[in-house]
């Protein structure tokens, strides 16, 4: 026989989980992806009608505003992308100057992938851009997910509507769908693997697909992830680009 107090506590807990609002889910989701610092080795596999290409890189990130990607695969070895707040800089070993991307150039895709430079910038929370609504729960690959529906609050949001599947246990996205104003599905993001690093969960394998093209996708994998560990000094500076 369950003691009434315990039963009440369990009920309350269950109720709390149920009544958790969409906003809270998003807040937890974003909190989970915030690290003081992050360092990783990564791989991008870009696929289009001409085939697949693999790029490898080292990535460093500090907070939400600074990021450095340094490519290590043969073809792009030594190239770097530096993000400082809303600005993007490109470094090429064979160029004698650092290239600053602005305006329309930010809309271009990175390395022909399904991500644009613009996707790399921006620190706004989803809550600032979208109204969120909890539509229910679904099972994805055997795991239970919150299904969130997002509608842009203002004009100018690149993806006016999104659907987000958030794992109820880990509070990490498992799947995302991005929609155009017309309601047409543009892209899908699938998280294929989640890893535990230092007590936290990180997405270690994900694939972004262009839903309008037959064979267009970008898979990205992170290996050797280190969280909240000190990074090399001054790594997020223009000077450091040429090291």
Partner 1 sequence: MKFLLSLAWKNLSRYRRRTTITAVALAVGVAVFIWMDGWLLGAELESRRNIIWYEAGAAKVLNREYLEQIQSLPLKQVVEDPAGVERALAGLGLEATRRAVFSGELFLGEGSLFVKAVALDPATDGRVFRLEETVRQGRFLQAGEAETLLGEWLARDLGAAVGDWVTVRARSRFGAFQTLDLQIVGILNCPNPIINQGTIFLPLDLADQALELEGAVSEIALAFPEWQEPEARLGEIRRALAGFPGLAVADWQELARDFLAIAEGKRAGTGMLLLLIFIIAAVGISNTMLMAVYERVREIGMMRALGMRDLSIRLAFLLEAGGIGLIGSALGLVLGAALNWYMVRWGLDLSAFIGDMQVGYRVHSVFRSAWNPQALVGAVVFGVLASMLISFIPSSRALRKRITDCLRHV
Partner 2 sequence: MKLAALAFRNIRRNRRRSLLSGAAIALAALAITFMFSWLSGILGDYRYNVVHYLTGHVRLRNAEYQANERLNPLHLSVAGSRELVARLEAEPLAAAVAPRIQFATAIYREEQTFGALGLGVDFPREEKFMQTAGSLSEGRLPRMGQREALLGAGLAGEVGVGVGERITLLGKNKYLGMAGMSFTVTGLARFPVSGFDRTFLLVPLDMAQAMLKMQDEATEVLLLARQEREAGELAARAGRILAEAGRGEVEVRPWDRIGMLVSLIRGIDVMYNFIALFFFILGTTVIINTTMMVIFERLREIGTVAALGMKPGEIVRLFFLEAFYISVISAFLGVLLGSAITLLLSRTGVDLSRMLAGVDFEVSAVIRPRLSIRSTVLVFLYSVAVSTLASFLPSRRAARVQPVEALRSI
Among partner 2, partner 1, none, residue 214 binds (CB under 5-8 Å by kind): partner 1
> Using CA atoms, how far apart are residues 18 and 12, in angstroms rounded to an integer?
10
**Interaction pattern, residues 150-189, with partner 1; x per rule: CB under 8 A:** --x--xxxxxx-----------------x-xxx-x-x---
> Using CA atoms, how far apart are residues 190 and 27, in angstroms rounded to an integer?
20
Task: Give the interface segment with partner 2, choosing from 16-24, 92-100, 133-141, 215-223 (CB under 8 A).
Answer: 92-100
Among partner 1, partner 2, none, residue 155 binds (CB under 5-8 Å by kind): partner 1
Task: Give the interface segment with partner 2, choosing from 33-41, 70-78, 161-169, 175-183 (CB under 8 A).
Answer: 70-78
**Interaction pattern, residues 203-232, with partner 1; x per rule: CB under 8 A:** ---------xxx------------------
Among partner 1, partner 2, none, residue 3 binds (CB under 5-8 Å by kind): none
Query: Which of residues 57 and 171 has its CB atom nearest to partner 2 in the complex?
Result: 57
DSSP string, the chain: ---HHHHHHHHHHHHHHHH--HHHHHHHHHHHT--SEEEEEEEEEEEETTEEEEEEEEEEEETTTEEEEEE-STTTTT-EEEEETTEEEEE-TT-SSPEEE-GGGGGSBGGGSS-BHHHH-----HHHHEEEEEEEEEEETTEEEEEEEEEESSTT-SSSEEEEEEETTT--EEEEEEE-TTS-EEEEEEEEEEEEETTEEEEEEEEEEETTSTT-EEEEEEEEEEES-PPPTTTTSTGGGG-
Query: Which of residues 48 and 62 has its CB atom nearest to partner 2 in the complex?
Result: 48
Among partner 1, partner 2, none, residue 197 binds (CB under 5-8 Å by kind): none
Instruction: Give the long-range contacts of residues 74-81, CB within 8 A, separation 24 or more.
Output: 76/111, 80/241, 81/110, 81/117, 81/120
To partner 2, the closest distance from the beta carbon of 102 in angstroms equals 7
Residues 93-132 that bind partner 2 (CB under 8 A): 94-97, 99-100, 102, 105, 111-112
Give the binding site for partner 2 (CB under 8 A): 46, 48, 50, 53, 55, 71, 75-76, 79, 90, 92, 94-97, 99-100, 102, 105, 111-112
Give the binding site for partner 1 (CB under 8 A): 103-104, 107, 152, 155-160, 178, 180-182, 184, 186, 212-214
């Amino acid at each position: 026989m369950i003691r009434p107090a315990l039963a009440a506590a369990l009920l309350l807990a269950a109720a709390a989980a149920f009544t958790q609002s969409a906003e809270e889910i998003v807040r937890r989701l974003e909190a989970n992806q915030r690290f003081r610092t992050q360092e990783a080795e990564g791989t991008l596999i870009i696929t289009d009608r001409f085939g697949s290409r693999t790029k490898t890189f080292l990535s460093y990130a500090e907070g939400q505003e600074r990021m450095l990607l340094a490519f290590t695969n043969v073809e792009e070895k030594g190239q770097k992308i530096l993000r400082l707040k809303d600005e993007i800089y490109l470094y090429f070993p064979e160029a004698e100057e650092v290239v600053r991307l602005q305006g329309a150039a930010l809309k271009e895709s990175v390395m022909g992938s399904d991500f644009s430079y613009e996707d790399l910038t921006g620190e706004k929370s989803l809550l600032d851009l979208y109204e969120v609504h909890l539509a229910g729960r679904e099972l994805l690959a055997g795991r239970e997910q919150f299904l969130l529906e997002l509608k842009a609050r203002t004009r100018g949001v690149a993806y006016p509507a999104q659907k987000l599947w958030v794992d109820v246990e880990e509070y990490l996205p498992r799947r995302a769908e991005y929609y155009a104003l017309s309601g047409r599905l543009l892209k899908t993001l699938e998280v294929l693997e989640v890893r535990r690093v230092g007590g936290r969960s990180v997405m270690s394998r994900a694939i972004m697909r262009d839903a309008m093209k037959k064979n267009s996708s970008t898979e990205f994998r992170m290996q050797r992830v280190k969280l909240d560990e000190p990074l090399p000094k001054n790594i997020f500076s223009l000077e450091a680009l040429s090291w």
